Amino acid sequence: MNVFEADYWSSVLHRDGLTLDEQSRCALMELFRLTNQMAPVGRDNRREFWITAKRGSAEEYRPYYDEEAFEEELTAAMWEDRL
């Protein structure tokens, strides 16, 4: 990935009020640098990796769904969102 591509993706992360602090920006640029070192795969020469994060609880999901929802409804909605 060249600096123009990295700059583009960095600008994508700043859209709609999303911003990065200096430490996060540096970490993201380091991630881009490391990604560029990966051997390309597939017909389209892509480089890919997966990031995982611990799933939150139904209560943590509530503000993003419906404050009045029952826990069973929240749990079902969380799974639907991720499929």
pLDDT at 1: 57
Query: Is residue 48 helix, strand or coil?
Result: coil
Residue ranges per domain, the chain? 1-51, 55-83
| pLDDT digit string, tens, across residues 26-75 | 888 898 888 888 888 889 888 877 777 677 777 777 776 777 778 788 77
**pLDDT (0 to 100) of residue 81:** 62
**Residue 56, φ and ψ in degrees, nearest 5:** -75, 175
Rounded Cα gap, residues 59 and 74, in angstroms? 8
Taking the model in full, what pTM does it have? Answer: 0.43
- How far CA 43 is from CA of 47, 49, 70, in Å, comes to 11, 17, 46
Tokens 């992360």: give the residue: 13
Amino acid 82: pLDDT: 59
Structure tokens at 24: 């996060």
